[in-house]
Amino acid sequence: MNAKSFSFQEKLRELSEAFGPSNYEDDVRAIIRQTIEPWVDDIREDALGNLIARRKGKSDKRLMLDAHTDEIGVMVRHIDSRGFIRFATIGGWDDRIFPAHRVKFQSRTGQFYHGVVGMAPPHVLSPAQKEKGIPAEDYFVDIGANSAEEADELGAAIGDPGVLEYPFRQMAPNIFNGKAFDDRVGCLTLIGILKALAKGEIETPLEIYANFATSEEVGLRGAGPAAFGIDPQVAIAFEGTIGSDFPGVPEEKRPCAQRKGPVITVADKSVLVPRRMVQLMTDCAQQANLPYQIKMPTYGGTNAGAIHGSRAGILSGCIACPCRYIHSPNTTLYWPDFENTLALSKLVVSRVHTLV
Ligand SMILES: [Zn+2]
């Protein structure tokens, strides 16, 4: 790859638009593999779908870096005689989000077919129906078929994975929307670290294992087994996390905010981070004059939680880029937040060997 042509914004577009609900992340892995191949010593994929890249180090100690490749999605549960699809959810959805969105499904042969989450217009709903809301299992997807046979001809089958489909776009100067910044922005952070190591911008004596983790959104399923195999002394997870500085969320319930820089985890629902790890991260930010924020305890959970409880216990932490509207098809980020997240992450990677 020609390094001069590398654009982080273009890479985020590619990653965010790639199809990758949990367990169906081949397209995301293919982009990452092709991007990082020149910068690492070897790459393998394990039985679950973790893509694990290694960079040799002078020390025999191992640093695991992790970002998850999956996004939340849906799965075909039922196809009725008129060709309408009912779906199950993959990962943590808010059921209010679904109606009237576009859906993209992948068939068993890898082809895509498209649909719209149908909804009854307000004209035909009773006041009680409007009030109550609809659970996800009662939504249907219209894929343009008029019978079960036509649905079959389009490739639809029980078990097909799908996502709500939205393109990446620039909404305002420095503000971007995309369907899967959780956690493709973490993948991009990890890609940026591997690039910086390869170009000699940063150094570490540690052997690096970059785990692009499968199936985080369905209960941190990939990272734990990957950590078991890698057997690291220390680990850092990279995320896109819960920016909630907008109307309707009181100040004391905002896990983090846009435009305030990288988010350092002290505690979330999956992990309590050892103080020396948090201290290293805040020292790195302060000494480099980078903005940072502490994620409000204890919202969310990350792969740091799955990794720290692996084997005999692994020193783990998490750095995230604030993203608004995660777990919706229009996650939104402020580009300097990403740049500062990457800058802090690179510093932490270059100094984390001092902890082990
Ligand atoms: Zn995530």
Give 74-94 pLDDT, tens digit per residue.
999 999 999 999 999 999 999
CA of 326 to the centre of ligand 1 (A): 8
Selection from 84, 88, 83, 86 nearest residue 73 by Cα? 88
Residues of the chain by 3-state class (helix, strand, coil), percent to 5: 35, 25, 40
Q: Name the token pair of 12.
A: 């985020």
- Residues 155 and 243 both lie in one domain: no
Predicted local distance difference test score (pLDDT) of residue 127:
83
CA of 306 to the centre of ligand 1 (A): 13
- Residues 210 and 317 both lie in one domain: yes
Q: What are phi and psi of 15, to 5 degrees?
A: -70, -40
Q: What angle in degrees, to the nearest 10, is found between the helix axes of 275-287 and 335-351? A: 120
Assess whether pLDDT exceeds 60 at residue 350. Answer: yes
- Residues 79 and 136 both lie in one domain: yes
CA of 146 to the centre of ligand 1 (A): 37
CATH code at position 116: 2.40.30.40
Predicted local distance difference test score (pLDDT) of residue 119:
83
CA of 303 to the centre of ligand 1 (A): 8
Predicted local distance difference test score (pLDDT) of residue 22:
98
Selection from 223, 301, 188, 192 nearest residue 50 by Cα? 223
DSSP H or E stretch at residue 350 = helix 335-351
Predicted local distance difference test score (pLDDT) of residue 133:
78
Query: Domain limits at 267?
Result: 3-71+179-355
- Residues 260 and 233 both lie in one domain: yes
**Is residue 174 one of the residues assigned to a domain?**
no
Query: What's the predicted TM-score (pTM) here?
Result: 0.96
Predicted local distance difference test score (pLDDT) of residue 124:
85
- Distance (Å) of CA 69 to CA 18, 63, 92, 101, 196: 10, 19, 15, 22, 20
Assess whether pLDDT exceeds 90 at residue 129. Answer: no
Residues with CB under 5 A from ligand 1 (ion): 182-183
Assess whether pLDDT exceeds 80 at residue 95. Answer: yes
Assess whether pLDDT exceeds 80 at residue 348. Answer: yes
Mean pLDDT of 164-184: 97
User: What are the tens digits of pLDDT across the range 266-291?
Assistant: 999 999 999 999 999 999 999 999 99
CA of 301 to the centre of ligand 1 (A): 8
Domain edge (last residue) among 139, 164, 189: 164
Predicted local distance difference test score (pLDDT) of residue 75:
98
Predicted local distance difference test score (pLDDT) of residue 4:
62
Predicted local distance difference test score (pLDDT) of residue 255:
96
Domain edge (last residue) among 164, 189, 224: 164
CA of 302 to the centre of ligand 1 (A): 7
DSSP H or E stretch at residue 54 = strand 51-55
**Is residue 171 one of the residues assigned to a domain?**
no
Q: Name the token pair of 115.
A: 């649909």
| Domain total of the chain | 2
Q: How confident is the model at residue 335 (pLDDT cuts 50, 70, 90)?
A: very high
3-class state of residue 231 by DSSP:
coil
Assess whether pLDDT exceeds 80 at residue 173. Answer: yes
Predicted local distance difference test score (pLDDT) of residue 36:
98
- Residues 143 and 235 both lie in one domain: no
Domain edge (last residue) among 110, 130, 164: 164
Assess whether pLDDT exceeds 70 at residue 3. Answer: no
Catalytic residue positions, numbered: 216
